[in-house]
């Protein structure tokens, strides 16, 4: 069985602070994909990143960066210099054979 | 890539009625799925919509409550039957492209049952 844990239910930061959202997963599969999604109040899921289980390279995209560590089964997401527009619910998901298991989500509030 | 549309985008329904949600993809895809997101909760997989055969349901979901059709490689429907207020959720259609290993989600159908 797959499991994704996002231990932080809610995080509140002040604009321009850096913030890291944690994601820990469990799986017995050797081939899988990890995703991060953003869900603003409007409700649509916004794709942020996909990582496969064989690619442990960290990635940076603008203010966003991701740290994938297979040894600790973690796929953490850092926002640098947060902005009010980053306020949303963020989901980490584990996909195997097309099916995704989602974490419970982390609600990020960025205050001006 | 795949662009997914869903109809309706939202609806308010009365208890005991049924609603059919449509999912249309702009390209042929092998794998289609339906997810539910209850208010304030995460997404949960309901079932895999199989083309030409019965859907495969996840634990806790049954065909009588959530019948699914998949007549071709670009279209699927999910029916929420005999609705109760507990069925108030966002229902999302998703596809997985096996050649590029990408996942796409539709915009969702926001259902409120009164």
Question: What pLDDT, in 10s, does the model give residues B2-20?
Answer: 899 999 999 999 999 999 9
Q: If pLDDT is split at 50, 70 and 90, which confidence band does B63 have?
A: very high
Q: If pLDDT is split at 50, 70 and 90, which confidence band does A17 have?
A: very high
pLDDT tens, position by position, B41-62? 999 999 999 998 899 999 999 9
Nearest CA to B4 among A45, A95, A7? A45
**Are B103 and A98 a contacting pair at CB < 8 A?**
yes
Q: Which of residues 13-72 of B touch A (CB under 8 A)?
A: 31, 33, 35, 41-45, 48
pLDDT of residue A8: 97
pLDDT of residue B53: 87
pLDDT tens, position by position, A58-100? 888 899 999 999 999 999 999 999 999 999 999 999 999 999 9
pLDDT of residue A105: 98
CB A83 within 8 A of CB A100: no
Integer Cα distance of B88 and B113 in angstroms: 5
pLDDT of residue A60: 86
In this structure, which long-range contacts are made by residues B45-50, counting pairs with CB atoms below 8 Å and at least 24 apart in sequence?
B45/A99, B45/A100, B45/A101, B46/B78, B46/B91, B48/A98, B48/A99, B49/B76, B49/B78
Q: If pLDDT is split at 50, 70 and 90, which confidence band does A57 have?
A: confident
A10 interaction partners in chain B (CB closer than 8 Å) = none
Integer Cα distance of B6 and B10 in angstroms: 10
pLDDT tens, position by position, B94-105? 999 888 888 999
pLDDT of residue A55: 86
Residue B26: is its pLDDT beyond 90? yes
pLDDT tens, position by position, B78-94? 999 999 999 999 999 99
Looking at the partner chain, which of B44, B102, B105 has a beta carbon nearest the beta carbon of A45?
A: B105
CA distance B16 to chain A (A): 26
In chain A, which residue's Cα lies nearest the Cα of B35? A100
Residue B84: count of CB within 10 angstroms of its CB:
10
């Amino acid at each position: 069985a797959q499991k994704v844990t996002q231990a932080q239910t809610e995080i509140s930061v002040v604009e321009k602070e850096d913030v890291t959202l944690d994601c820990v997963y469990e799986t017995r599969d050797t081939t899988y994909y990890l995703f991060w999604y953003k869900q603003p109040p409007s409700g649509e899921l916004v794709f942020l990143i996909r990582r496969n289980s064989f690619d442990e390279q960290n990635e940076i995209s603008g203010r966003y960066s991701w740290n994938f560590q297979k040894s600790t089964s973690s796929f953490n997401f850092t926002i640098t210099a947060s902005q009010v527009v980053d306020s949303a619910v963020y989901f980490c998901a584990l996909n195997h054979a097309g099916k995704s298991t989602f974490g419970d989500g982390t609600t990020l509030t960025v205050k001006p | 890539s795949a662009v997914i549309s869903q109809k309706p985008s939202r609806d308010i329904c009365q208890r005991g009625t049924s609603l059919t949600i449509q999912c249309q993809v702009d390209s042929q895809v092998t794998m289609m799925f339906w997810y539910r997101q209850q208010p304030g909760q995460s997404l949960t997989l309901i079932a895999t919509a199989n083309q030409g055969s019965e859907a495969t349901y996840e634990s806790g979901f049954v065909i009588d409550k959530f019948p699914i059709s998949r007549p071709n490689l670009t279209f699927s429907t999910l029916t929420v039957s005999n609705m109760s207020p507990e069925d108030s959720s966002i229902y999302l259609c998703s596809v997985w492209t096996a050649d590029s290993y990408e996942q796409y989600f539709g915009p969702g159908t926001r259902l409120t049952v009164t």
